[in-house]
Structure 1
Amino acid sequence: MLLDNIGGEAGLLSAGGAELVAAGFRPKLVEQMLSARDEVSPDPFYTLGSPLYPESLLGLAQPPALICVRGAKVGDRAGLAVVGARACTPYGRLVARRLGAQAANLGGALVSGAARGIDESAHRGALEAGGVTIAILGQGLCSRASGPEARRLHEDILNGGGSLVSELPPRDPPTKYTFPRRNRLIAALARATVVVEASLQSGAMHTAKAARDLSREVWAVPGRIDAPASAGCLLLIAEGCLCVRELVEVTAGWRRVGNDPASRLLMALDAPRGLGEIAARLEAPLREVLGLLTKLELTGAVVRLPDQRYALS
């Protein structure tokens, strides 16, 4: 692993450009890493292969080589993504805010893109409900392109225990290309994606496609059949995506995720996993994890598979 060539993450934070290239990192990635280290520090950045790199991003066809994070560690905290158009209706804002609050009550962090309209309303709904939220930005973390409203939202997300995430160099401004590209990260970090309002050309439709490519659930909020803002959602429903009015209708099987060990373990079982893998994800001793798994087996929450991996029942 490349990190081993430079002494792990400590070396990553202190090595010079020539050392990083000699260790096997691509020059373009080295440029991004040095930029992130100089401009974002003490905010961390994670590279592919880092133990703190979000595992859910590894399923992407092109996972980012580096992500910068301001605020809390991302890890596997994410729950639901709520996305939609900037040019939304008052109805769309209301629904997004309500779904954001409901998502917060499910546990895990709400994920969205911090753009105007549906994204902002979803973030606000989660924060007002006392939840945490993760914003995937289409610009670098140190970009000055954000207006005052966006900066206030970013500050509120951080003050609420959430995170700002970007795969771009710290000072990169947003462009018409960076926003569609970041949508795949929103889909990858979430267990499911809800599209609230979206035209057929909306970036939210890119997020929905990315989620489906990752075999994640995609749900859509119905709207008027003659409203352009609902055309994307109506198409998703016609294609078989679940029609959503209230999250309680479609998340009855979800378990609320808290900070207790059992909840963290259940969150880690987003796919069948072996004992060692579960312990590594939880950063807990094998004996402790095995005892917890046994209890969850007895309650019927977890099953042990024939290959000795564990899965949600």
Structure 2
Amino acid sequence: MSGQTELRDWLVALRTPGIGATGLRERLAAANGRIGDVVAQLRRQAATLEAGARAWLEQPDEARLAADLAWLAEPNHRLLCCTEPDFPPQLEAIPQPPVALFVAGDASLLLHPQVAIVGARSASSSGKTNARAFARQLALAGFVVTSGLADGIDGAAHEATLEAGKATVAVIGTGPDLVYPRKHRELSALVAAQGALVSEFPPGTAARADHFPRRNRLIAGLSLGTLVIEAGLQSGSLITARLAGEQGREVFALPGSIHNPLARGCHRLIRDGARLVESASEVVETLGCAARALGAELALRLEQTPTASAGSAGKASGGWREDPDYRRLLEVLGHDPLALDELALRTGQSAAELSSMLLMLELEGWVEGLAGGRYQRLPEG
């Protein structure tokens, strides 16, 4: 984002009633991505827009815009726009992709391979135990665990990932400055500190029933696969699973007792073609190729736009052979397979940094990714 004027233009456009993400994307395409030109065009065409849009464009709420800008000025807060090179490429492939995301935390995590874990808000103790176990194992295998910060399965997945010292992404159905449910205020702060909170809605936006299906499409769209753990037949998690399937992503479901009403949604998913899984390793093996494909796309983006890279992910696009972090990683890795958590322990680097570095090294032919989230150095490397 080049400056405050451009950022303000984005906020004006995003808050214009009746335009929406699809309308803004169409206007951005016509304006070669220049948001200032889009806002100028909207003002010229104000007479043809609905009354709320006309009123807003003629006299925007300056106090609201000032509050938005104040939120964005805080550390690790960002408006991530679809015109920027580090906007998540996987979201471009979904129906009605977002035009911008408000992010609190590490926005670069949205470029990493993610697995969604979703399920019932009124989950059983065993359901939450399963969610915690799967989240921990998937996080240790190198995936970012993504969910919706809801009560029950979502909260258990976020908590277990954080307790494992790994990154988690929470996509929420309110503005990025609000917490729903309120009981997750502390969890929300921890997610922002160790991962990322993501919202399509501007600051101050309260929870509404229609926001959550929109949130669910982003959870499914960001993730290579969606795992459903306990869901009734009317569960919103089934919406997330359906959207994931429609987006061409993998859908996994955990089976349960035929006497448990919260297992019926998972059983329906399995009957409809979802993968029945009993261990996290099955998810890891299934998504390995997709994770490497996403890494290849990320590497291409970083090579084309090196200034957009974040952290260690950008180092391999240039003289990585002289980078001490890469030399240390290759020295530690040797030629014996090692899991990501073991590499993190031996190198002292975070799983997020190592995931990016390993993807780059794999593309360069120095490292091979193996089943079970393990890596080994190739003989010629």
TM score, norm. by length of structure 2: 0.65
Could you say what secondary structure the match of 2:239 adopts? Answer: helix
Write the mapping of 1:10-29 to structure 2, written as runs, cut at 5 A: 11-13=5-7, 23-25=37-39
Match of 2:97?
63
Listed one character per residue, the Cα deviations across residues 160-186 of structure 1 (whole Å, up to 9, x for unaligned) are x20101001111111111112100111
- Any unmatched runs of 5+ in structure 1? 257-265, 303-313
Match of 2:354?
none
Match of 1:270?
294
Give the residue type in structure 1 aligned to 2:93: G
| 2:85 and 2:301 in contact (8 A); partners too | no
| 1:9 and 1:50 in contact (8 A); partners too | no
| 1:187 and 1:211 in contact (8 A); partners too | yes
| 2:225 and 2:287 in contact (8 A); partners too | no
Q: 1:250 to 1:208 in 2, by over 3 A?
A: same
Query: 2:157 and 2:195 mapped to 1: Cα distance?
Result: 14
Listed one character per residue, the Cα deviations across residues 178-201 of structure 1 (whole Å, up to 9, x for unaligned) are 112100111111111100011121
- Taking only the aligned residue pairs, the percentage that are identical comes to 30
- Any unmatched runs of 5+ in structure 2? 14-33, 44-52, 322-359, 371-381
Q: Structure 1 residue 128 and structure 2 residue 163: aligned?
A: yes
Could you say what secondary structure the match of 1:173 adopts? Answer: coil
The structure with more radius of gyration: 2
Query: 1:197 and 1:44 mapped to 2: Cα distance?
Result: 34
Give the residue type in structure 2 aligned to 1:248: S
| Structure ranking higher in helix proportion | 2
Give the residue type in structure 1 aligned to 2:37: A
Could you say what secondary structure the match of 1:46 adopts? Answer: strand
Write the mapping of 1:1-313 to structure 2, written as runs, cut at 5 A: 8=2, 11-13=5-7, 23-25=37-39, 34=65, 36-42=68-74, 43-73=77-107, 74-143=109-178, 146-147=181-182, 149-159=183-193, 161-252=194-285, 267=291, 269-270=293-294, 276-277=300-301, 279-280=303-304, 282-283=313-314, 292=361, 295-296=364-365
| 2:226 and 2:252 in contact (8 A); partners too | yes
| 1:136 and 1:185 in contact (8 A); partners too | yes
| 1:79 and 1:103 in contact (8 A); partners too | no
Could you say what secondary structure the match of 1:165 adopts? Answer: strand
TM score, norm. by length of structure 1: 0.78
CA RMSD across the alignment: 3.4
Could you say what secondary structure the match of 2:135 adopts? Answer: helix
Match of 1:306?
none
| 2:362 and 2:369 in contact (8 A); partners too | no
Match of 1:305?
none
Give the residue type in structure 2 aligned to 1:279: E
Q: 1:288 to 1:247 in 2, by over 3 A?
A: same
Query: 2:209 and 2:299 mapped to 1: Cα distance?
Result: 44
Query: 1:92 and 1:49 mapped to 2: Cα distance?
Result: 40
Q: How big is the shift at 1:254?
A: 5.3
Residues matched between the structures, number: 283
